Chains A and B, each alone.
Chain A
Amino acid sequence: MATATSAIQIKKDESSNAKTWRRFTKHRAAMFSAVVLALLLLVAIFAPIIAPYAPDKIDASNLYAPSSSAHWMGTDGLGRDVFSRVLHAGRVSLLVGIVVAVLSAIIGVIMGLLAGYYSGIPWLLSVGAGSPLWKERQNAEGSSFIWRTGLRWLVWAGLIALFLQITGQFAATFSGTAAVLTWAIGGGLAAVTAYYAFYKAIMIDIDNAISRLIDVMLSLPNIPFLLILSGLLANPEVPLGKLLDSVFGQSRSIVLIIFVLVLFGWLGTARVIRGLVLSLRQREFTDAARAIGSSDWRIMLKHLLPNAIAPIIVQVTLDVGNNIVSEAALSFLGFGIQEPTASWGNMLSGAQEAIFQSPFTVFWPGLFILLTSLSINFLGDGLRDALDPRSRL
């Protein structure tokens, strides 16, 4: 019986997952890279077990020692074992790379979904009795209309008050006509805002706002900007710096660099997702979901997002590599992970002095950065071929 059914069973179509897997395994460089990455991850995770010495154990009698059986990669300028430090640094660098990529992807996806889905559908920020929208919103929002309108007005009143206060501080620094002019401009702007907020309506196209924000952030030169930002937040006298200090203590520089890199990390993903969502929302399945009464969030998360998952996976993978290199660059310049915590980047930061003493001290950390970032790039390439066979560079 069993043999009979198996004999007449028609060979099923390969599932799409199996196809993807087959395409991925054909990309030999990506397969090899995946193995290398898995090894690197394992080594990083088990660093405390593998490392022969503590990463911050200083040995002043043994500075810049060459490779030997005791110190496989030699020692650095403080006599610390480079091999142990490279292993421990891998934990920090990989952790930063992965966490930044995931957080950037989450923010990027949310921003991209909002921008793409609500493109051309302005959000109402305030409405007054003089606007034709007044009646419309009254009907749409029903009994909640009164407190909703009150809340909107309250927020706008607060904003206008703040703006007037700033105008006052501005005007106080001038005298004569300049002060009068400042009051005239500030007051005029406040009056116009008040007119629209309380009598007419204020609408905002969220797509426009997010896209312009991305434009502005992309036009900031990012390495210099990150330098200033991390310099600022690393200062323990700044309130935010104080907070970071009290919560994270020693590892604050890790949290800091994650924050700083995420700030610029989400832009690419947001753009890609926005473009995809703009085309996906025209498709029939979106109309169908809306017709059966799905909420906007449900459509975005259950219908649009799964269709955009392939580019997100590729983007996150490639981002991990870019983040590791960016972290290394900032740490190298002295603005990233701070001593005594080791990262592949800050192990290179004393490099210019070390090159005369012991070149190999700076060779190893860089080699690990290269190895990781190269593997990730190959893996990303393989994933792109496998998940999204139509796109090719």
Chain B
Amino acid sequence: MFLYASRRIIAMIPILLAVSMAIFGLIQLQPGDFIDELRLANPKMTTADVERLRREYGLDQPWYVQYGKWLNRAVRLDFGLSRENGYVPATEFVFEQRLSNTVTLSSTAFIIALLIGIPVGIYAAVRQYSLLDYVTTFLSFVGFSIPVFWLGIMMLILFGVTFKIFPTGGMQSEGVTQYVESTEQFTATGQVKKIEARDGQTIITVAVYDEASKTDLPKEFVLPANTRAAVVVDDYVSEGQALGQRVTFDSWLKWFLDFLHHLILPAVALSIISIAGWTRFMRASLLEVINQDFVRTARAKGLAERIVIYKHALRNALIPIVTLVGLSIPGILNGAVLTETVFNWPGMGTALLDSVVKKDYNVAMVILMMLSIVTLAANLLTDLAYALVDPRIRYN
């Protein structure tokens, strides 16, 4: 098993290489590069300048040579900067600013789908061929068929525009943060030189221009306890600006409720398809168990129907579902592009779409490579989990 797993992991390397080469090649085939944009921005650039810059950045090389260089940096986890997001490293932008938003949205949708899909599936199986079974079957077909972005738009129109119960997009209302500013303020104007911890206190040193000596004099401000500095080194601060910010329960709660308010619509829209899926899986799995001999035996020895279903049948029927739930967890990262776009949710899906539209391809490369790795890892986990669950499967 261990050997098999390590062999599979090694086999992922060529697949990832092929995938990255395909994506990189596609992107490089796009005509134009960022030198063109520099040239548009700066008309004084001569053709010689352009040629020299191209040579310096290696843009005059064929795409596979550029791919080699990209790969050389990528294996050291350097994926370049994001041009459209203040030139922060693309990995930092994706992992620190976007990943958590997508995970929150998708995992909420995932939990909603399980909480509704599983009980409905059980009920439909227990009452097979009842009116409710037909209704859920029909609804799950609707769930499979409905275009998720259209459903999202309809929900926006109904709850956001007509009834105004929910906001029409985004993740946070204007001006709502989880911080309150401290009452202590800067009493001078200047540039922040350093922020350091000393004797259990945080000290902010500001260089204040002194008229008399015509030089910058350091002035220290002590942050109150439980407060986070509201400024970073090199910021310019002015008199009356708050020293720091802190999280109070009230401010946090206000922020959190606002966040939930924004989360509900996209999460419900995203969960609809999976609800349909889980209902069908649960129903099929339970029906298969209910028709087995040991369930008939349980009934024959006079057990109450409730106990037969919930204690004997359901427990067995849940085994494949639990496996599936476990295996769907990596999928949480995948495929929320449409929902995020409709609800203007600042997650990876919108980041990806923006980066393609604005030709900021470093971000797209990071996201696509991450998604591929997650998909491959999930496939491997699927196979391993089957081997753990089913003793007839042996890998060697």
Contact = CB atoms under 8 A, between A and B. Distances in A.
A81 B342 CA distance: 24
Contact of B150 (A221, A334, A366, A393): A366
Contact of B61 (A169, A365, A373): A169
B341 interface: yes
A227 B358 CA distance: 13
Size bin of chain B's contact surface: 35 or more
A295 to B, nearest CB: 34
Given A366-B154, A369-B147, A228 B27 contact: yes
Interface in B134-169: 138, 141-142, 144-147, 149-151, 153-154, 156-157, 160-162, 168-169
B18 interface: yes
Nearest to B137: A29
A221 B371 contact: yes
Given A173-B58, A224-B352, A359-B161, A237 B31 contact: yes
Interface in A340-393: 348, 351-352, 355-356, 359, 362-363, 365-366, 369-370, 373-374, 376-378, 381, 393
A370 B142 CA distance: 8
Interface stretch (B111-119, B303-311, B332-340): B332-340
Nearest to A362: B153
B100 interface: no
Given A170-B68, A348-B149, A352-B342, A237 B335 contact: no
Interface stretch (A6-14, A40-48, A64-72, A325-333): A325-333
A224 B102 CA distance: 15
A175 interface: no
Size bin of chain A's contact surface: 35 or more
A55 interface: no
A154 interface: no
B26 A232 contact: yes
Nearest to B12: A219
A393 B280 contact: yes
B134 to A, nearest CB: 9
B147 A232 contact: no
Interface string A233-269: 0010110000000000000000000000000000000
A393 B284 contact: yes
Contacts of A348: 149-150, 153
B208 interface: no
Contacts of A173: 58, 61, 65, 69
A60 B65 CA distance: 52
A5 B143 CA distance: 55
A373 B151 CA distance: 14
Contacts of B375: 218-219, 221
Nearest to A229: B26
Grouping DSSP codes into helix (H, G, I), strand (E, B) and loop, the A interface class, with mixed when no group exceeds half, is helix
Interface string B106-134: 00000000000000000000000000000
Contacts of A218: 375
Contact of B23 (A228, A351, A381): A228
A158 interface: no
Interface string A299-328: 000000000000000000000010001001
Given A216-B15, A221-B375, A366-B154, A359 B29 contact: no
Nearest to A230: B356
Interface string B296-317: 0000000000000000000000
A224 B367 contact: yes
A66 to B, nearest CB: 14
B17 to A, nearest CB: 10
A232 B30 contact: yes
B379 interface: yes
A224 B145 contact: no
A223 interface: yes
Contacts of B64: 166, 169-170
B104 interface: no
B141 A377 contact: yes
B364 interface: yes
A29 B141 CA distance: 11
B353 A227 contact: yes
A220 interface: yes
A232 B334 CA distance: 22
B149 A374 contact: no
For B64, B338, B367, the residue with the greatest tally of chain A CB atoms inside 10 Å of its CB is B338
Contacts of A287: none
Nearest to A351: B153
Interface in A173-188: 173
A373 B150 CA distance: 13
For B62, B64, B371, B376, the residue with the greatest tally of chain A CB atoms inside 10 Å of its CB is B371
B325 interface: no
A377 B357 CA distance: 33
Contact of A225 (B23, B58, B68, B353): B23
Nearest to B160: A355
Contacts of B160: 355
A235 B284 CA distance: 47
A219 B26 CA distance: 17
Interface in B342-396: 342, 344, 352-353, 356-357, 364, 367-368, 371-372, 375-376, 379
Nearest to A349: B149
A235 B359 CA distance: 12
B90 to A, nearest CB: 15
19 contacts: A166-B64, A173-B65, A215-B15, A219-B372, A223-B338, A224-B356, A228-B364, A232-B27, A232-B30, A238-B31, A329-B338, A333-B337, A333-B338, A351-B153, A365-B150, A370-B145, A370-B150, A381-B141, A393-B280
Given A216-B15, A224-B356, A355-B156, 12 more contacts: A169-B64, A219-B15, A220-B23, A224-B337, A235-B31, A238-B30, A355-B160, A362-B157, A366-B153, A366-B154, A373-B145, A376-B145
Interface of B: 15, 18-19, 22-23, 26-27, 29-32, 58, 61-62, 64-65, 68-69, 138, 141-142, 144-147, 149-151, 153-154, 156-157, 160-162, 168-169, 280, 284, 334-335, 337-338, 341-342, 344, 352-353, 356-357, 364, 367-368, 371-372, 375-376, 379
Interface of A: 29, 166, 169-170, 173, 212, 215-216, 218-221, 223-225, 227-229, 231-232, 235, 237-238, 321, 325, 328-329, 332-334, 348, 351-352, 355-356, 359, 362-363, 365-366, 369-370, 373-374, 376-378, 381, 393
